[in-house]
Every structure is written in structure tokens, then in C-alpha cells.
A and B are shown apart, each in its own frame.
Chain A
Amino acid sequence: MKKTSFHILRVGLAITFLWIGVLIFKQPEAWGGYLMPWAAGLLPVPIEQAMMGTAVLDVIIGALLLYDFFVWFAALVGVIHLIIVLAVSGITDITVRDIGILAAAIALMADSLPENFINKIRHKIFRRSS
């Protein structure tokens, strides 16, 4: 990815994660309403606390992306987080937006993964297949 486009994507995604985190802090119960009943039943803590935890995670991901610090790790956690969000919230009117954010996070992760991390994964796959 070209350097400029990478940074535009990084900052844009950072603002998205940070802003969602702030909005969840404002109304955790309302955001908890997006959870499917089966997913809400699995929570070991009250839904409000779980959403507060989600808000903290969103803010941390956003801050790491914004400060250009461990971008690959923040993007990786963001990807896992968004996959979980898509799984537990079901198909709604805003699912398409989550898919767009997920694609952006995957692009950022793919472009910022450290070389030795990729080599380790390649090595493990190679060892398993041989």
C-alpha cells in the first residue's frame, strides 16, 4: 500500500474506533441492545459492564492507531473485535458499515504486520504441511 493511503486509512479508522468508544461510554445500555439474546445470555457480567469494556477496547485500539504505535497489533485486535461484533449483533441495517470497517482493518493489518511475525506463521504452516 502506498505510504500516504496507509496513513489516511490509519487515521480514519482511529477516529472511527475512538468515536464509537466515546459513544458507547455515553449510552452503554443502548449499545447493549444490539446484542442478540443468545449472546447477551453468554455474558458473565451485566450487559452495561460488558459494553463499558467494549468501549475501553475501542478507545485503546483507536489511540494505538492514531499515535502510530503497534499499528499491526491494534489492527489485528480490531479485526478480531469486529468479527465478534458481527457474530453477536446479527444482520441489521448497520451491518454493512461494520463490514466496511472490518475490510479497512484487515487492509491495515495486512500492510503493517512485522516481517518476522509473517515468517513465524509461514514457518508453522510449512512445518504442519510437511
Chain B
Amino acid sequence: MTSFALLFTLSSIGISETVYLIQKRIASEKPVCPIGDNCEIVLESKYNKIFIIPNDVLGLLTYIVISFIAAFLVIEIEPIFLWIFIIKILIGIASVISLFFTYLQWRVIRAWCFWCLMSAFTIWLMAITILMSGTI
């Protein structure tokens, strides 16, 4: 239950981050960068999309699916094993993609984006929650 609560809370934080970035992108405004001032270099780089889908939209969809699955697991909606399998796969893939994007910021773009790093840490915290949890 505690791990589901953590996953739900982290996915909600992720939703709020990505919604903020999508709003700013649609309004063509620069997002606030609490640490550093290179957010737009990263957000406007050629790596801001996977195929034709912007990364913020992909992130939002991922967080929404994770929050729904965490809620289903709390309410105990069947089939539990399938939800656990999907959430593990999803967070695993998202962790690897976040690792790749962090590498891109560090070595290729050579600029750091606060919101991208926060999203990566949110996903990694979810992965740690799953790894340390005995129930999932």
C-alpha cells in the first residue's frame, strides 16, 4: 500500500511537471528555470521528440498510465498480476529513456534542463520504489 501511495504521488508530480511544460510550449513561452538558465536549449533541441511525438506529451501519457495503474492496484481491480507487469515494464523503459536523455544533456547538448532532470529523478524514484518494495 505504501509503495502504491508513493507511485501515485510521484506520478501526480510527473503529471504536473509535464502539463506545465506542454502549456509553456503551446503558449510559446519560456519555462521558469529554478536552477540554471539552459532549459530552452534542451527543450528546443532536435532531441525534444521521439519520432513525431514531443517528449513532454510522451511523459504525460506515461505518468497518467502509471497513476491509473497505481490507483487500480490500491482499489484491487483485477487482474492484479497484469497491472503489476505493465507498471514494471513501463517504469523500466521510462528509466532507461530518462538515463539516455540525461546522457544527452550531459555529453551531447552540454546544457542542463531543470524540468527534464526533475522528470528523470521522478521516474528513477519510481524504479527505486518498485525495487525496494516487497509487495510489487
Binding site for B on A (CB under 8 A): 3-4, 7, 10-11, 14-15, 18-19, 22-23, 25-26, 66-68
Contacts and interface: CB of A to CB of B under 8 A. Distances in A.
A11 B20 CA distance: 11
A10 B16 CA distance: 10
Interface in B1-55: 5, 8-9, 12-13, 15-16, 19-20, 23, 32, 34
Contact of A67 (B8, B19, B71): B19
A60 to B, nearest CB: 14
Contacts of A15: 8-9, 12-13
B75 interface: yes
A11 B16 contact: yes
Nearest to B15: A66
Given A68-B19, A68-B23, A26 B75 contact: yes
B76 interface: yes
A14 B20 contact: no
Interface in B70-96: 71, 74-76
A51 B23 CA distance: 34
The 8 A-B pairs of least Cβ separation, nearest first, read: A11-B16, A15-B12, A22-B71, A26-B75, A25-B75, A22-B74, A67-B19, A15-B9
Contacts of B32: 3-4
Please classify the interface of chain B as helix (H, G, I), strand (E, B), loop, or mixed, using the class held by over half of its residues.
Answer: helix
Given A19-B5, A26-B76, A66 B12 contact: yes
A117 to B, nearest CB: 22
Contacts of B67: 18
Contacts of A3: 32
Contacts of B16: 7, 10-11, 14, 66, 68
B5 to A, nearest CB: 7
Most buried by B among A4, A22, A23: A22
Nearest to B60: A67
